[in-house]
Structure 1
């Protein structure tokens, strides 16, 4: 699956590592409402281009998952500041 790496020079490998690290950092540094979003740009860093077959839970189960995720953040990062802003529909 990663055979494309075999023919890369040291410089090309370093450039690839930097590109991947930048993508991971962008995902890691997501905050506020960005935490809730589907991030296909992260998967797009991989050389194999596939359209991920996602499955979306029904609304009640999806919302329970959102609540569970938020509760896990409360446990794992209780010192995190509160981002008290309404979602603006991705307009800024």
Structure 2
């Protein structure tokens, strides 16, 4: 799957690492409402060209998942700053 790396020069490998790190940092630095989004830009950093279509839960199951995700943030990051900013896009 990652055989493309075998033919890369040191400089190409360093450029690839920098590109991947930038993508990871962009995702890591997501905050607020950005945490809830589909992230095809992150997946596009991989060399394989696919267009995976996610299986999308029905609304009730989706909302339960959103609530559970938010609860997990309370459990894992109890001292993280909170915001009351509405979604505005």
Shorter-chain TM-score tier: over 0.9
Q: How far 1:11 moved relative to its partner?
A: 1.0
What 5-or-longer segments of structure 1 have no aligned partner? Answer: none
2:85 paired with 1:85? yes
Deviations 1:71-90 (A, max 9, x none): 0000000111012211012x
- In structure 2, the residue corresponding to 1:74 is in which secondary structure? helix
- In structure 1, the residue corresponding to 2:14 is in which secondary structure? helix
Question: Partners in 1 of 2:82 and 2:37 — Cα distance?
Answer: 18
Q: What is residue 33 of structure 1 aligned with on the other side?
A: 33
Structure 1 outlier segments of 4+, above 3 Å: none
Q: What is residue 63 of structure 2 aligned with on the other side?
A: 63
What 5-or-longer segments of structure 2 have no aligned partner? Answer: none
Q: What is residue 20 of structure 1 aligned with on the other side?
A: 20
RMSD over equivalenced CA pairs, Å = 0.7
- In structure 1, the residue corresponding to 2:52 is in which secondary structure? coil
